[in-house]
């Protein structure tokens, strides 16, 4: 039986990249969690001695600092630079992009609007690149009593829904003469969904890996099940059953956004044994 992985699955591009960087930077430390996955952070600590430290003080004695996927503030980055530390940037390129846009647009005199949660580390990083006049909002209500310039640049937290972003933009064009919109929403989740749909069309059996309480994994499973009735949602290889693969020609695999590659590999190896 042939095994095929979906064109897009599991950890997104930025997370995969960050883990690869961390694995290649032994005996280092990250400022805050590299990614939002405790198992994976534990693995990086045990196998590569990549520590997770949460304050600037804790990091004082570290020589190599890995910047987490969500990025950090410009001020903290500048502090690390001034301390002559070795900085390894694992900021997701989709997060660096709004940081760079905000810095450039702010320099060009645009007011900045960020659609996002001001308490999220990603947004804290992005907003720190504005020189002045930055509004971080989740709804247009937060702008009603604010004075906004006639030139506004707008970006979004990478994980927001585009329909909500459009509402912010629609409001802004009634307030400002020029609204420069940068769609910085990352469509990794959407890509995983599209890929599972494509794979389920040609596979005889589909294995979707991820936490049973993971919303995006459940979405992937439902999409797969609608197309390929022999679809199964598992958390790890121990749940696999030999009978699922009997007489099948092609087994498709996908995984939720919080599923590390090593779990996927374990599942894939076990399927090979069983089929």
Q: Does 173 bind its own copies (CB under 8 A)?
A: yes
Q: Which stretch binds its own copies (CB under 8 A): 33-41, 138-146, 167-175, 212-220?
A: 167-175
Which of 51, 74, 180, 248 binds its own copies (CB under 8 A)? It is 180
Q: Are 41 and 35 in contact (CB under 8 A)?
A: yes
Q: Are 61 and 45 in contact (CB under 8 A)?
A: no
In angstroms, give the least distance from the CB of 229 to its own copies.
29
C-alpha dist (Å) from residue 53 to 34, 65, 119, 271: 10, 10, 19, 38
Which conformational region is residue 26 in: left (phi greater than 0), alpha (psi within -120 to 50 degrees), or beta? beta
Render 14-46 in DSSP notation, one character per residue.
Answer: HHHHHHHHHHTS-SEEEES-SSS-HHHHHHHHH
In angstroms, give the least distance from the CB of 161 to its own copies.
11
Which of 75, 132, 177, 243 binds its own copies (CB under 8 A)? It is 177
Which of 33, 182, 236, 270 binds its own copies (CB under 8 A)? It is 182
Which of 38, 87, 131, 162 binds its own copies (CB under 8 A)? It is 162
List the catalytic residue out of 122, 142, 197, 239.
Answer: 122
Q: Does 104 bind its own copies (CB under 8 A)?
A: no
23 is catalytic: no
Angle at 217 between CA 211 and CA 222, to 5 degrees: 130
Q: Which is nearer to its own copies, 53 or 138 (CB)?
A: 138
Q: Does 181 bind its own copies (CB under 8 A)?
A: yes
Q: Which is nearer to its own copies, 197 or 230 (CB)?
A: 197
Question: How far is the C-alpha of 92 from the C-alpha of 257, rounded, in Å?
Answer: 15
Question: How far is the C-alpha of 228 from the C-alpha of 90, rounded, in Å?
Answer: 37
For the chain, what is the radius of gyration of the CA atoms? 22
Which of 24, 170, 226, 229 binds its own copies (CB under 8 A)? It is 170
Q: Which is nearer to its own copies, 183 or 215 (CB)?
A: 183
Q: Does 160 bind its own copies (CB under 8 A)?
A: no
Q: Are 135 and 143 in contact (CB under 8 A)?
A: yes
Which of 119, 174, 213, 238 binds its own copies (CB under 8 A)? It is 174
Please, what is the angle between helix 13-23 and helix 93-107, to 10°? Answer: 100
Question: How far is the C-alpha of 110 from the C-alpha of 264, rounded, in Å?
Answer: 45
Q: Is 216 flagged in the annotation as binding?
A: yes
Q: Which is nearer to its own copies, 147 or 177 (CB)?
A: 177
Q: Is 258 flagged in the annotation as binding?
A: yes
The residues of the shown chain that bind its own copies, judged by CB under 8 A, are: 162, 165-166, 169-170, 173-174, 176-183
**Binding region for dimethylallyl diphosphate:** 36, 70, 120, 214-216, 258
Write out the catalytic residue numbers.
122
């Amino acid at each position: 039986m042939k095994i095929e992985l979906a064109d897009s699955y599991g950890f997104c591009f930025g997370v995969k990249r960050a883990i690869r960087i961390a694995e290649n930077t032994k005996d280092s430390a990250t400022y805050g969690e590299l990614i939002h996955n405790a198992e994976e952070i534990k693995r990086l600590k045990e196998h590569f001695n990549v520590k997770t430290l949460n304050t600037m003080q804790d990091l004082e004695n570290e020589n190599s600092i890995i910047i987490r996927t969500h990025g950090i503030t410009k001020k903290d980055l500048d502090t690390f630079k001034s301390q002559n530390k070795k900085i390894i940037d694992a900021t997701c390129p989709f997060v660096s992009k709004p940081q760079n846009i905000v810095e450039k647009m702010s320099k060009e005199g645009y007011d900045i609007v960020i659609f996002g949660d001001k308490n999220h580390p990603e947004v804290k990083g992005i907003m720190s690149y504005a020189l002045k006049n930055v509004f971080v909002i989740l709804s247009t209500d937060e702008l009603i009593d604010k004075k906004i310039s006639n030139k506004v640049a707008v970006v979004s937290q990478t994980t927001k829904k585009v329909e909500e972003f459009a509402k912010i933009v629609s409001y802004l064009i009634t307030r400002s003469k020029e609204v420069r919109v940068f769609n910085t929403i990352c469509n990794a989740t959407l890509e995983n969904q599209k890929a599972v749909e494509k794979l389920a069309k040609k596979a005889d059996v589909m294995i979707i890996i991820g936490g049973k309480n993971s919303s995006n994994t459940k979405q992937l499973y439902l999409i797969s099940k609608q197309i390929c009735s022999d679809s199964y949602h598992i958390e790890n290889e121990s749940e696999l059953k030999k009978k699922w693969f009997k007489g099948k020609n092609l087994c498709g695999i996908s995984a939720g956004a919080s599923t590390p590659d090593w779990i996927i590999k374990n599942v894939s190896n076990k399927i090979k044994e069983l089929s």
